[in-house]
Structure 1
């Protein structure tokens, strides 16, 4: 579904992403793991057109989207759940969801029902200001808002960041359910253990370069991954 080849992204004179290539097969879950500053978020932002590639090519469903504007990329079927949730605090849950459908011309009510069925808590909080929701509820809203455009590929940037362990489990259950319903997922996640357990494929990004790649369950067993990201020793 998504093919990236030799992607380079610069901020001023700084090279944030250095010639990476990766594939996201249709209906799969693919995860990018790595330390802060490795270039993970920059990769997602470049895919959706928020930052422009200085070299390389991004193909989605066989079409080159490298130089497209973000609004056009969203209409093609890609959405991003940003790090930090970025909900509109002074708008209601329902208003936040409708903003996610701003490029949709029809089916908005059906999409809202789909999101509420996936997140019953949001239905209960429909008229509540988003800024008064808990962290977990705000993350549900951020994901629901992204789903309002009926994406073929949804990208999530650190969905479990700052959430209690019990809430994190619920977020990962939702990620698996979204994928089960047919949506492809590209996931950045600080919790490498949980991400790799559900991922069909994983990539390790270090200082803008992919250093390790393979099936998620194989990477879970890789000693280099265990030492660097899973907090286990060599014993």
Structure 2
């Protein structure tokens, strides 16, 4: 469904992505793990058109989408939940969700999707008229995911969804990711919580200083000694 081929990105003299290739099959959860500065966020931001690539291609549903405006990609079903949530703090929960559907004209289905978001995140319904900036960190992350779902994504990309959240909320967020995926939405996940990410993933990649160094099923990488030592805090 989504395929990255030989993707390179430069920030001035820094070669942030060095010809990476990876595949995100339809209906799967794919995770990208790696240390800070490895290029994980750069990968997502390049796919969605926020960062310009030096070379390579991003194939979505058979077409090279590299260089297309972000708005066009969202309309095609490619959506990013950014790191740091980036909700609109001075707008209400309801208004944030409405903005998630800004490109849609199917009003009846939009209302159904709003109810679906409230089914996934009942807490958001309780706070529907509350300003988003007054929500807890976990609730803001729920809102960021809910807003993305309002655009009716085919591929949902998520950048560090568990960052700064309490362990009990992290577990809930990953349960929600699996539930979203079970409805047919493909997920590409960047996450520093390697254990949770690999446990959720059908397919996983390790990114180190701009290069893919390992790939396999989530289960295979969980059992890989190199991954266990570098990302799971386990000694040899």
TM-score by length of 1: 0.98
Match of 2:75 in 1: 75
Supply the distance in 1 between the matched residues of 2:141 and 2:179 (Cα, whole angstroms): 15
CA displacement at 1:12 relative to structure 2: 2.0
Deviating above 3 A after TM superposition, structure 1's stretches of 4 or more consecutive aligned residues are none
Match of 1:108 in 2: 110
Tell me how large the CA RMSD over aligned residues is: 0.7
Match of 2:204 in 1: 202
Match of 2:223 in 1: 221
SS of residue paired to 2:162: coil
1:156-195 correspondence to structure 2 within 5 Å: 156-195=158-197
Unpaired segments ≥5 residues, structure 1: none
1:137 aligns with 2:139: yes
1:119 aligns with 2:154: no
Supply the distance in 1 between the matched residues of 2:31 and 2:82 (Cα, whole angstroms): 15
Q: How many residues align?
A: 234
CA displacement at 1:147 relative to structure 2: 0.5
1:84-103 correspondence to structure 2 within 5 Å: 84-103=84-103
Task: Give per-residue Cα distances to partners, 1:27-61, cap 9 Å, x unaligned.
Answer: 00000000000000000000000111110000001
Of 191, 211, 214 in structure 1, the residue corresponding to residue 213 of structure 2 is: 211
SS of residue paired to 2:97: helix
Unpaired segments ≥5 residues, structure 2: none
Match of 2:37 in 1: 37
Match of 1:66 in 2: 66
CA displacement at 1:108 relative to structure 2: 2.1
CA displacement at 1:13 relative to structure 2: 2.2
SS of residue paired to 1:167: helix
CA displacement at 1:105 relative to structure 2: 1.1
Supply the distance in 2 between the matched residues of 1:5 and 1:78 (Cα, whole angstroms): 17
Match of 1:24 in 2: 24
